[in-house]
């Protein structure tokens, strides 16, 4: 197959960041995604409805002219989140709330410690039909970083799903065979997003031949066996798995430093890279469901009416992108050749 036309896709998990960065990240996403879930882990985090609406206004101010792009807003859960916060969020059109275990990823220091304390909030979310988006890792320092997703399933996620059978749960950016199995075996109210990096790479791509900071993300890349399990999951065509890039920009000097900030900035190439994966798997017929149908259906939102056409044509991802502040950022798969290209929107 040399050409494929699909319903316009959405990105159900990404990080725009804020302020000057929006001048780069919003157009990059709006070039092919009609909607995107805007993650709320800013500084300070988006902890109430008014902050979410203010952030949405900043995102919309950065979108290209004549673009119909729509950001979908999310509340950042803390141990101070109240039932009234959830009611206010629903009234304001916010679609979900995000659970970050404290210390799990970038800007998560203000997040939840003691997940059971939020059970009354989860109960209200189920009543309001507000989705729970979960970064599913434990953060205790003695637990191996490669085991943190699996242990989170056993310690927390199973209990949440059992306690709130009417709550829609998205297990975000899953990385392991255990996570894929958990989602497949759960009810129709449990789904997962999968990133391009976790389909394309494994931990050898992070560590062999020297540490490669631009492949460092959280949850961290896992063994090849887990990568293959995720590829099998998307190739199955199951409606429980859908597109969420976790595109997460950091300036080059912050990635190539002692900090080694976590995140892969994939917005400029994500759809094309997903197409490449599905082509490798002989499953291009499953790309539309994963990219454009299953996420919208799970969120209870209308499917997009526009289309996107991709052609099998090689192009090279740039080595660098210059941000509005003049600093460079290294995109995911920088300098590498991609076999699929957007022809028209």
* Cα–chain center distance at 101: 16
pTM for the structure as a whole:
0.96
Q: What is the dihedral of CA 6, 200, 313, 244, to 10 degrees?
A: 30
Q: What is the pLDDT of residue 1?
A: 84
Q: What is the pLDDT of residue 260?
A: 85
Q: Three-state secondary structure along the chain?
A: CCEEEEECCCEEEECCCCHHHHHHHHHHHHCCCCEEEECCCCCCCCCCHHHHHHHHHHHHHHCCCCCCCEEEEEEECCCCCCHHHHHHHHHCCCCEEEECECCCCCCCCCCECCHHHHHHHHHHHHHHCCEEEECCCCCCCCCCHHHHHHHHHHHHHHHHHHHCCCCCEEECCCCCHHHHHHHHHCCCCEEEEECHHHHHCCCHHHHCCCCCHHHCCCCCCCCHHHHHHHHHHHHCCCCCEEECCCECCCCHHHHCCCCCCCCECCCCCHHHHHHHHHHHCCCHHHHHHHHHHHHHHHHCCCCCCCEEEEEEEEEECCCCEECCCCCEECCCCCCCEEEEEEEEC
Annotated binding-site members: 13, 15-17, 41, 98, 135, 173, 218, 246, 250, 262
Q: What is the pLDDT of residue 114?
A: 82
Average pLDDT value over all residues in the chain? 95
Q: What is the pLDDT of residue 259?
A: 81
Residue 19, classified by CB atoms within 10 Å of its CB into exposed (0-12), middle (13-18) or buried (19+), is exposed
Contact 109, 115 (CB under 8 A): no
The domain made up of 3-344 has a fold known as TIM Barrel (3.20.20)
Residues 259-310 pLDDT 10s: 889 999 999 999 999 999 999 999 999 999 999 999 999 999 999 999 999 9
Annotated binding-site members for Zn(2+): 13, 15, 98, 135, 173, 246
Contact 217, 195 (CB under 8 A): yes
Q: What is the pLDDT of residue 102?
A: 77
Does residue 68 have an active-site annotation? no
Query: Residue 264, SS3?
Result: strand
Contact 309, 343 (CB under 8 A): yes
**At which residue do the structure tokens 């990635």 appear?**
255
Q: What is the pLDDT of residue 140?
A: 87
Adjacent-strand bridge partners of 71:
36
Give the separation between CA 152 and CA 139, rounded to whole angstroms.
9
Q: What is the pLDDT of residue 101?
A: 84
Low-confidence stretches of the chain (pLDDT < 70) are 103-111, 344-345
Q: What is the pLDDT of residue 104?
A: 60
Annotated binding-site members for substrate: 15-17, 41, 135, 218, 250, 262
Give the separation between CA 284 and CA 274, rounded to whole angstroms.
10
Q: What is the pLDDT of residue 108?
A: 59
Q: What is the pLDDT of residue 107?
A: 56
Which entry of 246, 279, 285, 297 is annotated as an active-site residue?
246
Give me the residue spans of the domains in the chain: 3-344
């Amino acid at each position: 197959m040399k050409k494929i036309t699909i319903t316009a896709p959405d990105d159900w998990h990404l990080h725009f960041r804020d302020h000057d960065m929006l001048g780069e990240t919003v157009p990059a996403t709006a070039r092919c995604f009609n909607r995107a879930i805007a993650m709320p882990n800013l500084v300070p985090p988006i902890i109430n409805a008014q902050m979410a609406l203010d952030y949405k206004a900043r995102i919309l101010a950065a979108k290209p002219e004549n673009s119909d792009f729509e950001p979908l807003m999310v509340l950042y859960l803390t141990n101070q989140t109240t039932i009234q916060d959830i009611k206010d969020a629903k009234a304001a059109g916010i679609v979900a709330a995000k659970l970050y275990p404290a210390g799990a990823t970038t800007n998560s220091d203000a997040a939840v410690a003691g997940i059971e304390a939020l059970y009354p909030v989860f109960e209200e979310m189920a009543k309001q039909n507000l989705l729970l988006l979960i970064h599913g890792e434990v953060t205790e320092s003695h637990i191996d970083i490669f085991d943190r997703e699996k242990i989170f399933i056993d310690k927390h996620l199973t209990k949440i799903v059992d306690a709130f059978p009417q709550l829609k749960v998205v297990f975000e950016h899953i990385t392991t065979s255990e996570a894929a199995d958990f989602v497949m075996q759960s009810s129709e109210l449990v789904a997962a997003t999968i990133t391009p990096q976790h389909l394309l790479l494994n931990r050898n791509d992070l560590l062999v031949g020297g540490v490669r900071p631009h492949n460092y993300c959280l949850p961290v890349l896992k063994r090849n066996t887990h990568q293959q399990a995720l590829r099998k999951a998307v190739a199955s065509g199951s409606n429980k798995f859908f597109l969420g890039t976790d595109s997460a920009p950091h300036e080059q000097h912050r990635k190539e430093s002692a900090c080694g900030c976590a995140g892969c900035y994939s917005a400029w190439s994500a759809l094309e890279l997903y197409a490449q994966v599905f082509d490798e798997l002989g499953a291009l017929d499953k790309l539309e469901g994963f990219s454009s149908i299953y996420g919208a259906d799970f969120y209870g939102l209308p499917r997009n009416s526009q289309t996107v056409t991709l052609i099998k044509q090689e192009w090279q991802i740039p080595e660098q992108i210059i941000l509005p502040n003049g600093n460079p950022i290294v995109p995911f798969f920088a300098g590498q050749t991609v076999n699929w290209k957007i022809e028209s929107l």
